[in-house]
Amino acid sequence: MDKREDVQRINEELAASFSKIEARLPEDLTIAGLFETLFEGIEKEFSIPFVWMTLMDSEKAAPVIAAVKSSDILANRLCVISPQLFGQILPSGIKPVLVNKDLQPFYKLLPASSKYFVKSLAIVPFSIGNEIIGSWNNGDAVGDRYTPDMDTDLLSKLAVSVSRSLTILVEADS
């Protein structure tokens, strides 16, 4: 195989892994279940060592915060910060951010109860309706696991599915 065929095969495998995770999301009937499935899928399909979420302390995110805190699996994988701080760290909106240098500002996204040794991060914002309420974050001790020049289309597509499922669940509960 030549290099182009290798890249194409790798891309097809990545897309298939993302599709497996995405296909399981609508099966979950609770907010906590949605994120438990998401985190389990990311860890299993991609061997990501650190997966957690950061939510904004806002009225819109309140039901998600409550659901996550009630989950034995997710409770220690949550960081709640102010919308202002979230906006300072991630001013780019809904597009995923990949970083592997100058990580200091991003450490504020880490859960206080868990310390992860990360050298690269994928920060993936998600929303309820059209309002961003937080991000799920993938961290790795390998410095080049995530680099800013990597394509984030598959992460973006999964974030849209997470946001759609989350919106449906929150609206059903209200």
**CATH number of the domain to which 64 belongs:** 3.30.450.40
pTM metric for this prediction:
0.91
The span from the CA of 64 to the CA of 79, in Å, is 12
Backbone dihedral region of 173: left (phi > 0), alpha (psi from -120 to 50 degrees) or beta?
Answer: alpha
Please report, in angstroms and rounded to a whole number, the separation of the first and last CA atoms in the chain: 54
Is the confidence at residue 1, as pLDDT, over 60? no
**pLDDT tens sequence across 3-58:** 667 667 777 888 889 889 999 887 778 999 999 999 999 999 999 999 999 999 99
**pLDDT tens sequence across 58-93:** 999 999 999 999 999 999 999 999 999 999 998 877
Report the 10 Å Cβ neighbour count for 70.
12
Q: What angle do CA 146, 52, 57 make, to 5 degrees?
A: 115
What domain range is 104 assigned to? 3-173
**pLDDT tens sequence across 86-108:** 999 988 778 999 999 999 999 99
Query: How many domains are there within the chain?
Result: 1
Q: What angle do CA 162, 73, 81 make, to 5 degrees?
A: 65
Amino acid 28: pLDDT: 73
Amino acid 174: pLDDT: 67
CB 108 within 8 Å of CB 81: yes
**pLDDT tens sequence across 142-174:** 999 999 999 999 999 999 999 999 999 998 876
